[in-house]
Amino acid sequence: MINRQASPSTMASRRVPKMTSKEGTSQCQEKHAVLLSPVGKLEISGCETGVHEIKLPRLSVLPNGTEAAMRCELSGSVTSMPEPLQQCAAWLNAYFCEPSRTEQLPLPPFHHPMLQQDSFTKEVLWTLLREVKFGEAISYQQLAERAGNSRAARAVGGAMRSNPIPIIIPCHRVICSSGQIGNYGGGNVMKEWLLSHEKLQKEKLAD
């Protein structure tokens, strides 16, 4: 369960342009929240339409992986948080604490220009989200093939670096063909932890 601690300073709002059509942009009221997770502070931003971004902390050492550390605390007033951010926080809490529930929870809607405009990057990210499940891994080359361009492994790497919704859109599951984990926006220590977390939890669910 997410523990909620009221802290007005942890949430802010500002108007930012977000793409809504090919004809132009419109303003949306962006809100921010911080989820204290086993891998540190996850900064979530979004509006009533959807999640804009999840910003990851950069880890220098692996956090403690004990069951006692598997909890999340949501900073900020949940009553002032848009529904997509509440859904995002609930999904992330399940990911860390009760992974079997992630398949039952709705994904929060996304509201980021990159995920609205037609592009190979968008196709790669949606393919990854749809097809590479918890505890699985895929190579950059394999993902390029599934997204429709077998020669675009390097472009897949660029798409992973541009991913605005990490963990939910699981770019940490994309690894090198050699088996090496490759780079990650949140740092290699974070990527290693996420992959190990999923492997361990998948093994527990299989028992």
Active site residue ranges: 171
Asked if residue 22 lies in contact with residue 34, where contact means CB atoms within 8 angstroms, the answer is no
Longest dimension (CA), the chain: 53
d(CA 61, CA 65) in angstroms, rounded, equals: 12
Q: State the Cα angle at 148 between 146 and 149, rounded to 5°.
A: 110
d(CA 195, CA 135) in angstroms, rounded, equals: 7
* Residue 161 neighbours by CB under 8 Å, 6+ apart: 183, 185
